Structures are given as C-alpha cells and as structure tokens.
Amino acid sequence: MEPIMRWLLILLIPSLLVPAGAHAQDYQFTREWDSVQVEIDGYTLPAAWTGGYSRSVPDACDIDGDGDLELFLGTWNGQFPYYQNIGTSHDPAFHLQAQTFQNIETFDQATFPEFWDMDADGDYDLFLYCFGLRVYENTGNSTAPNFVWVDSALHDIQGNPIYGFDPTLCDTDADGDQDLFIGTFTSGQLKYYQNVGDSSQYAYSLASSSYFGISTGQWCTPEFCDIDADGDYDLFIGDYYGRLRHWRNDGTSQQASFSWVTNQWQGIDVGDCAAPEFADLDSDGDFDLWVGREAYQTGSDNDLGDVFYYQNLGSPPAPQMQLVRVNSLTFDEGAYSKPILVDDDGDQRLDLWVSNGQELRVYRNTGTIAAPAFSLAYPDMLPGVAAHAVDLYDLDADGDKDLVRANGQLFNGEITFYRNVGTPQNPSFISMFMIQTPYDALGTVTLADMDGDGDGDMLLGAWGQGLVYYQNQGTPQQPSFVLLSENWQGISGGRNPRFCDFDLDGDVDLLTGVNTWGHVELWDNVGTPQSPQMVRTDSNLCDLVIGSPKPTGGDVDADGDVDLWVGCSEGGIYFFRNTTDTVSVSPYTRPHLQRVMDLSLSPQPGNPTTAISFQLPYSQEVDLAVYNLLGARVATLASGRMNAGSYSLPWESSGYASGIYFVRLATETGTLTRKLVTIQ
C-alpha cells in the first residue's frame, strides 16, 4: 500500500468507524414514579419510584373538600409532594398527584408545611418553612385551591422575623384563633407565639422562647392532639432519636398546664428525627398516626421506611397504636440504596435486588416480561451481614447466580464471595473466600466478562481511587481475581460503576454515578468483547441531579432497549423508562439534550481563509488540527479543554501550497475529519 494512502486510512478510519461522540445514540427517557408497582407485605406503594424522601414531615388536610384527608410531605431535599386521597374517609388510598404541590418554588431547600385557615374564609391557607417561614394565601376555594405567596418571611408584631424549622398551629387558649409553635434545631426548645389577632387576621407575639421549659436537647418537632379525649390539647414532640415524647395537658382548654409523661410514647421509634401527624384516617372517632423520619446512618442504624403509619386500635380516651407499615408512600430503603436488576431465578423476568448498608432485600418480578411488577420476597437475604453493595454472577459455572459483596467500612474494604448452594428459584449463600483491599469507602461492585475468556471480571468504585479493576485469571469454575488497574480506562474516582450492554451490541458498556455532580454517565464500549475501550458518550444521562447516584440498567418492558434505575442517598430509587423510539406524552418527560459533535468547513474551496466550525455537546479536551496529504500536521487551531458550545475558528492558508488538506477534530468522545481544498 502506498504510504500516502496508508496515512489517509489511518486518519479517516477512526472518524468513520469509532465516531463515539458524533454517532452515539441520543437516548430519551421518561421519568415515571407509579407505572411499575411494588408490593410489600400485601400493600402496594402509591408511588414507588420517587427516589425516596429525606427528612419526611407529614401534614394532613382535606385540601379538595371531598370529605377525606390528603397527605402532604415536607422534605429535606426540597420536594413538597402532594398525595391525593382517591379512596374514602373510611378507607383511604393515596395517589401522588404532584412531586411539588402547585409548583411552589422551594429552591431545593427544606420544606416543612402546616395548613390552616388563616383568614376564616372556609379554605386552607399555608405556612411553609423554606428559607424562613413563608405565608401562602389560598385565593381559590375549599374545593379548587390556588396558593399565592403573600409573605416571604413571617414576622411577629414587634417586626422580628420568626425563625424555626417545624411550625405547628393549635388554639391552646380557646380564643378561636390559632397560636403558633415552632421547634428549634440546636437546643430542642419549643417557642410559643400567641395569636393576639383573631381568626380572620393573625398577629403573633412571642410569649415564650421555652414553652413550659420544654427542651428535647436537639431537634424538636411539635404536634398537638387531644389524645385522651378530655377536651384539651396534649403535646407530642418528635425528637432527634426518632422517638415521640409526650406531655399530658392537666390544665384546661383555656389554660394549658403540661406534665411530662414519657420520652418514648407507645414504644415508637422510627430511627431519626421523628415528625408526628395525628389524624383520624379511618373515621372511627380516634386519632391514627403518621410519623415522618430520617435515616442519618448506614449500617445497623439505617432503618427502612419513608412515613410510618400507626393505626389506633384503642379508643379515644385510651389509644393503642399498632404499626401497620414503615413504607406508606414510596420505595425507601433508608439511605444510600444500591439496586441491581438481574434474572437470577431463570423466569426471563428481571428481579430487583437492593442493598442499603444494612440489609439485602430481594423483590421478585411478579408481573410479565413486558409489564413488570415487584413484590418483596426476601426481607434480608444475608441476615446478620451488613450488605453495603452487591452483584450477582455465576462464579462456578453451575447454572445459578453467586453473590459478591463489598462491605462499607471506611478503611481497608473487603470483598466477600458467596456460593449459591440453593437453587436459582430459592438461593442460599455460603461464604467462599474474601479479598482484603487497601481501599477506603468502597462504592458499588460490578462483574462482567471483560476479556472474552468466559469468566467474570470485577470493577470497584472506591474513595480516592480511579475505578479499580480485578481480572479473573482463574476459570469459569474456579475464580481467581488479580488486581490489574487502580485507574481502569483512565476513569477518575468518586464514581459508582455498573456494567451493562446499554446499546445491545454484544459488548459490555458502563454506567457510572458521579457522587460529586449527582449525574449518571454512559460509557460506550467502542472496543471489542476481548479488549474494551470505554468512551463517555453522555455525562448526564438522566438530565437530573441525584444524590450519590447508583445506576443499573435492564430491559424491564421487553421493548428492545435498556431502561434505567438509579439508587440514591435518600434511600429510594428513580425509574427512567427508555422511550427513545417511542412517542411519549408523559408529563414527567424532559427533552434530552443533543450530545452530537459537528464539524464543517466554509467556504469550499478555501481562498485563502476558511472558517472551521464545530460544536461540542459538553466541556472536554479538544485537539483541532490541519494535516497535509503526507500526514504532517501543518497547523494547530485548538488544543486543550473547551466548554460546551459552538465555535468558528479561521485558518489562513495563504502561506501554504494549493491542494488537499484534512481538518481533524479529536475529543475524548470521538474523532471527525473533513477534507479541505485550497486554491491560492
């Protein structure tokens, strides 16, 4: 082959055969929260795939005037969900109507709501803690509310701003208007603002900075309720440790006098930061109870649940609270959920395995191949073992999936390998061997055959490292893992990896969740099954910021493309249906940004100046150069990192001979080459 022709092929073939950025599939996803049902102990979650709630604070009111109670949640992560009661006052059933009620702007900050009729016009208005205590007036009516932000910072009659996290309202002096009580974060004291106005025009005056000397030490979420049916309001406070403290009102409805009863009423403990809300949910004449919560810890303190629901099986003067469920609204594993999708039981349907640092829970797919539905089958697959992150792979070629577990200890993380001595349908795991690593704070672990030798190799995320790659140098029947790289494919650390053939081309691609940015990345394997070469083709696949994202992929609806499931720091899971080749009318769909490079030259022929225009879908390293027919670089137009955008750079060819040149744009996502003819 002639040298010039060989050079041209070397120059042009990468842009024709490996155009990762230029020709990579641009995926479209639809975020859905209730299209795939999840059943836990016979109860179907109203909206499984919200991503979970951080620091849930429930508030109940009949916002649409239909005689039953709706449920609103304050959250720590800026959501303000509205669950409409589509059941009855005797048999409630909740449907997630909106992730943020009436699109109220929260600026991604904490939201703690309290509904009440502040102007005596027969409908509910709203106090909302969010960057201070805001006031929203309902300018609609009792059946069709419309909330308008009328005060960005509530003040008392002296003009002082009213601070505090968890507001609650109660007429403790029986004068016909609502007084205001606010818990404090650091001291746990309860502030009391007396309403010196009336039921149609509130006016608050600070009456006590430490109501009845009450202090919980840290975190104070108050709630009033006449729990003993004696005609006055008793006091409950959710504390930092997840318990309900109770003070009985031994005074009257006009003159309260509170006596401490217990620091753990009815034995209730929801983990961290209890937030109580009493309401008669079944119209039987007594108060039932919702308790919001938080999970600050992983491991043994990482309790499950979003909002705990307790039914009152007693009577109005003698309550008896029975825990009904810990997940009342959405899928919530407590904190830092790590899902994987795998058909481990051989029924051609993808099952869901979720670890959270404490338990490994298995949800069997009880739906169909095209319409999945999950049901909790194993509440803890590894009892007594902290399941930080796991993956399933047949390590001994016996036809069932074995288990690999990365522990969550801060230093010198361990990888434990378990053999399935049960069956695919009823797995049972025993420890095979362990690898002691020098790495800190292991993230996710994922296995795939990355070298085409028929056994599973292993990839780890770890703090302070690039992706850590162990090659399986044993056999399909007897694995032996050898560390090959602490910076696999040059992919930097702080990522949670998951192998997945995302484009269904027969080789394994890579999904990564980036802890610092909250993005899910897609890395396309442009190499071969024997020699992978990962190129990042999408730096924000979900077009969403997700706390500590842990992605996994699988075709759950049998439509020939890979859907996306993402665990997160709040303990829930996000579900993104792949709608790339379908027309979606979902209100939760957001147009996906185009991620295609472009390179054009004008005019042609160039005489003597040519404008070289190109487009970058996101910030990346760029090398833009001009080559002659001999393959020599004659000009460098751009070199280094450039931001996303469109560019046009001139090339002055008057100092060069007339003829044929090639303009080559090379980035980390691909290479483009264009022929340029110049005439002097």
Instruction: For residue 238, list its beta bridge partners.
Output: 221, 244
**How far is Cα 398 from Cα 419, in angstroms, rounded to an integer?**
10
The pLDDT of residue 120 is 95
Specify the residue for token string 């930080």: 388
The pLDDT of residue 302 is 63
Give the DSSP per-residue string, 538-565.
ES-TTSS--SS-EEEEE-TTSSSS-EEE
The pLDDT of residue 490 is 95
The pLDDT of residue 654 is 82
Q: Is there a shared CATH topology between the 55-325 domain and the 338-578 domain? A: yes
**How far is Cα 390 from Cα 385, in angstroms, rounded to an integer?**
12
Q: What is the 3-state secondary structure (H, E, C) of 441-510?
A: EEEEEEEECCCCCCCCEEEEEEECCCCEEEEECCCCCCCCEEEEECCHHHCCCCEEEEEECCCCCCCCEE
The answer to whether 23 and 17 have CB atoms below 8 angstroms apart is no
> Residue 376's closest CA among 304, 445, 302?
304
Superfamily of domain 598-678: Macroglobulin (MG2) domain (2.60.40.1930)
Element (H, E) at 680: none
Specify the CATH number for 338-578; select among 2.115.10.20, 3.40.50.300, 2.30.30.100, 2.40.50.140. Answer: 2.115.10.20
User: Mean pLDDT of successive 10-residue segments in the chain (680 residues)?
Assistant: 40 40 69 95 96 94 96 92 94 94 88 95 94 92 95 92 90 96 88 95 96 90 97 96 96 96 97 95 96 73 82 95 95 92 94 93 95 96 90 96 87 91 95 92 93 95 91 96 96 94 93 94 93 95 93 95 95 96 45 52 79 79 85 87 82 84 79 78
The answer to whether 360 and 414 have CB atoms below 8 angstroms apart is no
Q: What's the CATH number for 55-325?
A: 2.115.10.20
**Domain parsing of the chain, residue ranges:** 55-325, 338-578, 598-678
